[in-house]
Amino acid sequence: MAHNRNQNLKKLLRYLRPYYSLLSIAIVLMIFSASVDILMPKLLQNAIDNNIAKGDIKGLMSYVGLIALVVVVSTIAVAIRMRLVTQVGQKAIKNIRTDLFSHIQQLPAAFFDKMPVGKIMTRLTSDVDSLARLFEAGIVSMIVDSVMLVGIIVVMFYMNVKLAFLLLSVMPILIYVTFFLRPIILDTEDRIREETSKLNASSQEIISGVRVIQAFNAEEYFSKRFDTANKELRDSSLRSLNVWSYYWPLVDIAYYIALALVIYVGGKMAYEGIISVGTVLAFILYAGRFFHPLRSLAQASRIIQKAITGADRIVAILETPKEPTGDINLPLIKGEVNFEAVNFSYDPGEPVLTDFNLKASPGEMIALVGHTGAGKTSVINLLCRFYEPDSGRILVDGVDITKTNLAGYRSQVGLVLQDPFLFSGSLRENLQRGKPTATDEEMEKALQIVGLKEENGLSLDLLLTERGQNLSFGQRQLVSFARALLADPRILILDEATAHVDTITEHHIHQALNVLLKGRTSFVIAHRLSTIREADQIVVLGQGRILETGTHQELVAAEKEYFTLLQAATN
């Protein structure tokens, strides 16, 4: 398991490859600044033993000048290194976030059925940010601190083997603490990430549904639900802090033990003339420098652990298969649609459509009616290729749509949903989603066709708020209708497209449909049965099966399921 997790992190570390030259420069600067830090106590030792102890003021001044010059150069090197590493980290993170977002947009609808929006947002923000901290701080810290540790140990043994062993004598304490607490730390960090993801998902859902919550006076219930998720995150964070609260005091104890040993044994050796006072001072300074990178490596370990967890989540999305697409590029389609023995289920063992067969000739209007849960929307989902059939085929102009190029196919299918979705931005930008190259004149005409421009006098420069909330529901629906018309689709799908418009607006839409549906194949879902009287075929669904088909007159005359629905609607 740990191997797989490390592999996921390595996959994302590949995003650093384009910047290896900059990283190489940064690493050289790291080693230089680390070397200066390692040699500083040795320089001070020489200044004490060779200048101060001998009263060589002139030599001392030279040493001070040398130390000052080295410090200045090292400081400049650190500043350049930090800038380079930050640039590399941000560029790599930008590429990761771009690829992740692009991949998410190409995932099948089934993925979003099971993954809450809040968790997806966590992947794009918190999980990517954890990698940013690794790229900008964790990797740098590991390299610098590793160089520091090795360099300090080498210099200490070069200066005095006995005092070096005294400093290293506390390592068993550090090793025991690290190996004992590390599994607990890893577990608590994983829990924090999971609870954060849950809290984000809960928050997103509650905020999105705030109007419903307020309408039903459900604030207290959802406040408690949010508080539960918030407390779980708090508890996980406290558990992590508790573990770290044991770690740092134990590291401090080891440090003070080592320092005491160096001061006592080193002082005694200096008193006996075995070593110089400068050597004792250098070892005291090295004791602090020895434990500083150990502390930093512990922090880097924490950054790495968070990055590993974030990498697991990111790679899991990146390795989720995209929407399947085919190689066939459809020419301008005529609009013949044929469902052949289609079976479909969202969840295994729970069929939604069973042995569904339906043929639509080019230019025909097909109306899908039936009670809620009959399978009407599932037919539309399959036709739009949001899902694929479990078995059977859907043919358009005789070609299995699963074998066609997905983008090319969808470019010839227009969709207007019952719950229209508009994006923040200008009205013009929203309409151009239907046809990016549309001119203002074309957009004005589309608005006029649906009656929106004439009735409401909306400007193309009008800025829409999130989801177009500064428009009425009917206006949002008409805008989405105009957006679909601009796409000039060969197959037009209306999913309850007139369910929430007033009578006058509905009249405008039907006037437009008389012109716009001519020559196009259309599929219409409507609870208002009065809107589908002119349909070429009315398909009555029940429990995923076709109960009857025919024209309005034929189905009324048959006095079966459609007749019953019609009577219920008129009563």
Other Cβ atoms less than 10 A from the Cβ of 7: the count is: 12
Q: How far is CA 481 from the centre of its chain?
A: 30
What is d(CA 350, CA 537) in angstroms, rounded to the nearest whole number? Answer: 28
- Is 70 exceeded by the pLDDT of residue 222? yes
Boundaries of every domain in the chain: 2-318, 337-570
How would you classify the pairing of strands 463-464 and 425-426? antiparallel
What is the DSSP track for 71-89? HHHHHHHHHHHHHHHHHHH
Instruction: Please give the average per-residue pLDDT across 351-373, as a whole number.
Output: 91
Give pLDDT, residue 571.
61
% helix, strand, coil for the chain, step of 5: 65, 10, 20
Q: How confident is the model at residue 1 (pLDDT cuts 50, 70, 90)?
A: very low
Across 60-74, 245-259, 387-401, 430-444, the highest mean pLDDT is recorded for 387-401
Answer with the residue of higher pLDDT: 249 or 522: 522
What is d(CA 380, CA 82) in angstroms, rounded to the nearest whole number? Answer: 54
Give pLDDT, residue 343.
95
Q: For residue 448, list its beta bridge partners.
A: none
Amino acid occupying residue 22:
L
Q: pLDDT digit string (tens) for 492-532?
A: 888 866 655 666 666 766 766 666 677 789 999 877 777 78
Q: How confident is the model at residue 341 (pLDDT cuts 50, 70, 90)?
A: very high
Q: Which of 5-14, 78-87, 321-330 has the lowest mean pLDDT?
A: 5-14
Give pLDDT, residue 516.
66
Question: Among the CATH numbers 1.10.3720.10, 1.20.1560.10, 3.20.20.80, 3.20.20.450, which is that of 2-318?
Answer: 1.20.1560.10
What is d(CA 561, CA 54) in angstroms, rounded to the nearest whole number? Answer: 111
**Nearest-10 Cα torsion for 293, 294, 299, 301:** 110
Q: Which of 40-44, 249-253, 490-494, 500-504 has the lowest mean pLDDT?
A: 500-504
- Is 70 exceeded by the pLDDT of residue 373? yes
* Alpha-carbon separation of residue 315 from 10, 97, 108 (angstroms): 10, 12, 17
Answer with the residue of higher pLDDT: 66 or 523: 523
Are 298 and 247 spatial neighbours (Cβ–Cβ below 8 Å)? yes
Instruction: Please give the average per-residue pLDDT across 323-347, as a whole number.
Output: 91
Closest by Cα among 196, 213, 185, 206 to 304 = 185
What are the φ and ψ backbone dihedral angles of 296, each rounded to 5 degrees? -65, -40
Give pLDDT, residue 396.
94
Domain 2-318 matches domain 337-570 at the CATH topology level: no
What is d(CA 82, CA 3) in angstroms, rounded to the nearest whole number? Answer: 31
Other Cβ atoms less than 10 A from the Cβ of 158: the count is: 10
Q: How confident is the model at residue 539 (pLDDT cuts 50, 70, 90)?
A: very high
Question: Among the CATH numbers 3.40.50.300, 3.40.50.1970, 3.30.1330.10, 3.30.930.10, which is that of 337-570?
Answer: 3.40.50.300
Sheet holding 350-360, edge to edge: 350-360, 337-347, 391-396, 399-400
Enter the tokens of residue 328: 């066939």
Instruction: Indicate the burial class of 132 (C-beta count within 10 angstroms; 0-12, 13-18, 19 or more).
Output: buried
Instruction: Please give the average per-residue pLDDT across 56-83, as a whole number.
Output: 82
Instruction: Please give the average per-residue pLDDT across 207-236, as a whole number.
Output: 79
* Alpha-carbon separation of residue 90 from 19, 143, 432 (angstroms): 11, 19, 32
What is d(CA 196, CA 234) in angstroms, rounded to the nearest whole number? Answer: 10
Instruction: Please give the average per-residue pLDDT across 174-178, as a whole number.
Output: 72
Q: For residue 365, list its beta bridge partners.
A: 522
Could you report how far apart the first and last alpha carbons of the chain are, in Å?
Answer: 63
373 torsion bin: left (phi>0), alpha (psi -120 to 50), beta (else): left
Q: pLDDT digit string (tens) for 112-164?
A: 888 877 788 888 888 888 888 888 777 777 777 888 888 888 888 888 888 88
Answer with the residue of higher pLDDT: 55 or 361: 361
Instruction: Please give the average per-residue pLDDT across 382-390, as a whole number.
Output: 92
What is d(CA 199, CA 210) in angstroms, rounded to the nearest whole number? Answer: 16
Q: How confident is the model at residue 195 (pLDDT cuts 50, 70, 90)?
A: confident
Enter the tokens of residue 52: 């101060």
SS (H, E, C) 302-331: HHHHHHHHHHHHHHHHHCCCCCCCCCECCC
Give pLDDT, residue 216.
63
What is d(CA 182, CA 138) in angstroms, rounded to the nearest whole number? Answer: 17
Question: What does pLDDT average to over the chain?
Answer: 83
- Is 80 exceeded by the pLDDT of residue 100? yes
Q: pLDDT digit string (tens) for 412-450?
A: 988 887 777 888 888 888 888 888 888 988 888 888 887
Are 442 and 435 spatial neighbours (Cβ–Cβ below 8 Å)? yes
Are 521 and 527 spatial neighbours (Cβ–Cβ below 8 Å)? no
Give pLDDT, residue 352.
92
- Is 50 exceeded by the pLDDT of residue 165? yes
- Is 90 exceeded by the pLDDT of residue 395? yes
Residues whose CB falls within 8 Å of the CB of residue 25, separated by 6 or more in sequence, listed in order: 84
* Alpha-carbon separation of residue 410 from 65, 279, 372 (angstroms): 73, 77, 26
Q: pLDDT digit string (tens) for 2-37?
A: 446 678 888 888 888 888 888 888 888 888 888 888
Instruction: Please give the average per-residue pLDDT across 277-287, as a whole number.
Output: 85
